[in-house]
Amino acid sequence: MSKPLIIPKGYKSLLDLYQTERAIKLVKDTFQQQLSAELNLRRVTAPLIVQKGTGINDDLNGIERKVSFPVKDMDDIVAEIVNSLAKWKRMALADYGIPEGYGIYTDMNAIRPDEELSNIHSLYVDQWDWERVINRKERNIEFLKYIVRKIYEALKRTEYVVYENYSVIKPVLPGDITFIHSEELQQMYPDLDPRERELRAVKKHGAIFVIGIGSVLADGKPHDGRAPDYDDWTTPTENGYKGLNGDIILWNPVLDSAFEVSSMGIRVDKDALIRQLEITGTNDRKTLFFHKRLINGDLPLSIGGGIGQSRICMFFLRKAHIGEVQSCLWPKEMQDLCKKNNIFLL
């Protein structure tokens, strides 16, 4: 079932349909160039489908259904549409021989049939997936923050380029991004759920990076779910906290809400993988292709993440619905409500 729509009072798009299509290209071209330059990334081609049972596909929160089908010319083996490319990218770093300090990025396209459709969620997911080789000394919270700041600079430059081309869209991002651990959020707002905590924090700061997503907090619940085999969410860091991952969240002035644009982190090493498989009761994954390569030391240490393409287009173009920057399938009642309120879906 779809979530209730947020209908901004008196909403009207700042750009018409033709301007919007041109601006989408501007945002995507600009941001990927900025991201590539900031993080030393080269563009590569990535798969849309992978073979089921290899451990290459991502499980996200572990409950979402994957789109799958039998392949006639391969004895009906089952193929799956990727959920993301976190594991594939890490293998690509090894297979392509990418040196330390450099990495790759690619267009990731997925179909997630269990998404609850809303202003910011659709069945179709398009994002830039990126991965960069690091060394053992860089597996720490300060290096994670260093990379986050670089991504944030790419976001700010993109916003300025949009303003230069469409002066009606004024920049709103603050000069710096604020770092806050999920444990700190839980201590600050113990009576609120994680989404409400994020809302309070990002409304105050404008842009935040929530660190440590996956481990159980003091209240006995995780801030959000994370699969056990890509981000490292259990390594101790500082002040008794855990986790070398997190989310970039911006304050969205159109929706008057928190707006996540990226999930990322330092990836598991052998010890973190084994630890997190144990915590989640998924030790059986150790025999899968990806997991065996990691445990055997065949894969480099890395940091990586995904950055929503339609999400940042929606944010920078000040749109009220992701369907204004992405063509997808929507319930008729949602289409009718949007049209009634000047929200025209592609």
Per annotation, catalytic residue among 263, 276, 302, 326: 263
Per annotation, catalytic residue among 80, 84, 90, 112: 112
Per-residue pLDDT averaged across 253-257, rounded? 95
Active-site residue, 127 included: yes
Q: Specify the pLDDT at position 178.
A: 97
Domains of the chain with bracketed CATH: 17-340 (3.30.930.10)
Q: What is the mean pLDDT of the chain?
A: 91
* Residue 149 confidence (pLDDT) above 70: yes
Cβ atoms 129, 338 nearer than 8 A:
no
Active-site residue, 112 included: yes
Other beta carbons within 10 Å of 63: 8
Per-residue pLDDT averaged across 182-204, rounded? 94
Per annotation, catalytic residue among 138, 229, 260, 269: 260
Angstrom CA distances, 93 to 300, 302, 306, stand at 7, 9, 16
Active-site residue, 311 included: no
Q: What is the pTM of this model?
A: 0.91
Active-site residue, 310 included: no
Q: Specify the pLDDT at position 64.
A: 63
Q: Specify the pLDDT at position 1.
A: 44
- 77-86, 209-218, 227-236, 326-335 — which is least confidently predicted? 77-86
Q: Specify the pLDDT at position 124.
A: 87
Q: Give 167-191 pLDDT, tens digit per residue.
A: 999 999 999 999 999 999 999 999 9
Active-site residue, 58 included: yes
Per annotation, catalytic residue among 36, 84, 127, 309: 127
Query: Which pairs with CB-CB distance under 8 Å and at least 24 residues apart come from 142-149?
Result: 143/266, 143/303, 144/211, 144/244, 144/245, 144/246, 144/265, 144/266, 144/303, 145/179, 145/209, 147/39, 147/264, 147/303, 148/177, 148/179, 148/209, 148/246, 148/248, 148/264, 149/176, 149/177
Active-site residue, 21 included: no
Q: Specify the pLDDT at position 63.
A: 53
Q: Which residue did the predictor score with more confidence, 218 or 139? A: 139
Per annotation, catalytic residue among 58, 126, 138, 183: 58
Q: Give 60-104 pLDDT, tens digit per residue.
A: 555 567 778 888 888 888 888 887 788 889 999 999 999 999 999
Per annotation, catalytic residue among 247, 276, 311, 324: 247
Residue 266: what are its φ and ψ, rounded to 5°? -70, 135
Q: Give 9-65 pLDDT, tens digit per residue.
A: 999 999 999 999 999 999 999 999 999 999 999 999 988 888 887 767 765 555 567
